[in-house]
Amino acid sequence: MESAERLLDGLNERQREAVRSTEGYVRVAAGAGSGKTRVLTLRYVYIAKMLGVPPEHILSVTFTNKAAWEMRKRIRTYMPDEDGGWILTFHSACHKILKQDIGKLSYPANFMVLDEEDQKSILQSIYDEHGLTLRDFSFKKVLDALEVYKARAPYVPFLTDPHRAVQAPCLPRADEHGSMDFIMREYLLRQRKNFYLDFNDLIQFVLYLLDNDAALREKWQNHFEYIQIDEFQDVAGDEYKLAKVLSEKHKNLFIVGDPDQTIYSWRGADVRFFLNFDKNFPNTQTVVLDTNYRSTPEILGASNSLIAHNVQRLPKRLRAVRPSGNKPCYFHARSRKEESEWIAAAIRGMHENGTPLADIAVLYRGNYMSRPIEEALVRQNLPYTVYGATAFYRRKEIKDALAYLRLLVFADDLSFLRVVNVPARGIGKTRLERLRGYAALHGGTLLDALRANAGDALFSSSKAAAFLEVLDEAKRYAAEHDIADTLDHILQTSGYTPYLMLCGNQERLDNLNELKGSVREYVDSAGEETDAETYLNGISLLSAADEQDADDLVKLMTVHTAKGLEFPCVFVCCLNEGMFPSRKIRSKEDMEEERRVAYVALTRAENELFLSDAEGFDAQARGELYSSRFLFNIDSGLLDAQGYRSKEFEQKSRRYIRETECAMGCCTLEEERTQTFAAGDRVRHPLLGAGTVLAVENGAYTVEFAGGKTRSVAVRSDILIPYYPPRDEKDGE
């Protein structure tokens, strides 16, 4: 057996402490680039090999499917025969639990998981049937309302009651045709009829089972002897509750996260889950990983300086292992166009000096900010990709192809409606209405209805019989072939591949071939678990964060998209008030999260970091631009400043920031009166004239006025005003 010391070889002392902390409640505050994935991997191996715990009794929760795959791959280097069956995301783990026990809720084990496009298809069918349009309610508005509803209402009995007697709770106006509640109720009815589950349902159904079935709760609490959760700072309330319930028996819960990177409050994450963990779980042991292996000392210096301005955090200062490099560069532009041109020119210069474009990322706070950057890159003839565009598995031809495969497995209405008339088979609106009416009257699916009505006169001129024969023949084919061959077979025999060829869209054909190749790769690498149902539900559980583009292109993305990634060279642009931080910030807590977003942006950089802002006006920022407070949060000595930011513009920016901070309650009345100017600012006194602030201390300014007289002036906001000297006057810089 491999020795513990050999297994832990290469870890620093705190990493070793974290790996060895196997019993009880353990909280690991892991700073950016501190090797937390290695710690999680080796702790899993340590528990399995040193403690002798069967891996199927270790639940290891990751944030994305990509992270789970990476962890399984690492574990196999230590345990080649281990498949990492319980190394999953929260949603995937719940899906696996439900596969075993959803029958207790009168659902079939082969229930189908909906993604967002599927949800929109359901809504479209509701709109079509009831004469509604997007002018009534956008799909996004309905889906957002559904998410809020499912987070608050005890709706699971409505979906699972076998006698269909339970009414949907909290929908008082459900009978009002065309109302939001009416649409939501229709959506729930379609879910119940077809045994659909969406992302929100996966966790809610498991929590409902655990809350209402004591034997089942004991079963899963006994099963998971050790639980470890990555990115715990990002868990939402239901995920927190699930971790708490599952760990109650053995009380071995190990969480890893960085409260300085909690940036998902808009989807339920609460930094207090991590910060107050020791108050809610007895005898919690806390380990701090603050040795950073990713970035240069100069990048970490700027990052530490920024995040130190937050109050809601565990004290932590990242320490660099790597040798010194260049200071982060800060460029101040006179306009948004100049900022974009500077970024593009800098990238051009780096590329000409040998830096691959794929090593360079441009990060911004909101998607709309990419436009001037894209235009500048085009002018410099620099290829780029914008992350967050249509993901591969959401493209129409991919959804169509997978719908054919899903129809074979699930025979569901959603897949049926997507492909029954693609390519055209003469099964249009009138015939579909006939099928819907038959299914409503006799029960069953639309596919069942088509089988019952295909011989009727109404369908005689359609290709309904041929379509059914294609499906039946594909079923027989699938019984003897793997899913890769089955997919190719049904796309050919259904006419879908020839249909795309006739359309002449080579990009769609290329995407279809890419899909076939990925399915073949899945079959070749997944071993025994290659059934179509497992594959299809795995695709449904994919998130946009799991899809990457490996081409040599400059990467443009929001900071939220970049979380968890790292790049040799990073540009963080649009560091202006109203842009980054966002104009939507309304409270001290919101501003702290916004600062954490900026901290995440800075800590993505390995070798080079570039920060930039601009003067002028911006429609999205709704007015004049001011430098971001996050630039002022960083000690100026830690940045290599380029461009020209006048004292006038700096003072206007500081004054604007102070006003907005006080409006949000970020400063006391005394602070409001005493922190208007900083050392170096030019001011004018009503009697003493123009001067320069030398120091600010104990509620007073020390100001040097004309003639060399130094005076200490008691601070009042109406005593000193900014002084903007003429351009030809020396301004002290």
Find residue 113's DSSP bridge partners. Answer: 197
Q: Write down the catalytic residue from 395, 604, 658, 682.
A: 604
230 tagged catalytic: yes
Residue pair 681/693 in contact by the 8 Å Cβ criterion: yes
Identify the burial level of 5 via C-beta atoms within 10 angstroms of its C-beta, where 0-12 means exposed, 13-18 middle and 19 or more buried.
Answer: exposed
Q: How far apart are CA 137 and CA 176, in angstroms?
A: 14
Q: Write down the catalytic residue from 14, 16, 27, 36.
A: 36
Q: How many helices (H) and strands (E) does the chain have?
A: 31, 24
Q: Write down the catalytic residue from 37, 221, 291, 312.
A: 37
620 tagged catalytic: no
Please state whether the peptide bond connecting residue 423 to the residue before it is cis, i.e. omega within 30 degrees of 0: yes
Any residues with CB less than 8 A from the CB of 486 and at least 6 apart, and which?
405, 408, 474, 477, 478, 532
Q: Write down the catalytic residue from 186, 201, 230, 341.
A: 230
Any residues with CB less than 8 A from the CB of 266 and at least 6 apart, and which?
none
Q: For 100-252, where are the E strands, in sequence order?
A: 112-113, 196-197, 226-229
645 tagged catalytic: no
Residue pair 711/705 in contact by the 8 Å Cβ criterion: yes
Any residues with CB less than 8 A from the CB of 158 and at least 6 apart, and which?
166, 167, 168, 169, 188, 192
Give Dmax (Cα) for the chain.
Answer: 104
604 tagged catalytic: yes
Helix (H, G, I), strand (E, B) or coil at 185: helix
**Phi, psi (rounded to 5 degrees) for 226:** -135, 135
37 tagged catalytic: yes
Any residues with CB less than 8 A from the CB of 204 and at least 6 apart, and which?
150, 155, 156, 238
Closest CA to 267 of 144, 407, 158: 144
- Looking at 270-369, list the stretches that DSSP marks H as alpha helix, in order from N- to C-terminal side: 271-275, 277-280, 297-307, 336-352
Q: How far apart are CA 16 and CA 457, in angstroms?
A: 75
Q: Write down the catalytic residue from 101, 201, 225, 231.
A: 231
586 tagged catalytic: no
Please state whether the peptide bond connecting residue 80 to the residue before it is cis, i.e. omega within 30 degrees of 0: no
- Looking at 308-335, list the stretches that DSSP marks H as alpha helix, in order from N- to C-terminal side: none
Q: How far apart are CA 343 and CA 354, in angstroms?
A: 17
Q: Write down the catalytic residue from 261, 296, 497, 651.
A: 261
**Phi, psi (rounded to 5 degrees) for 161:** -65, 120
Active-site positions read: 36-37, 230-231, 261, 604
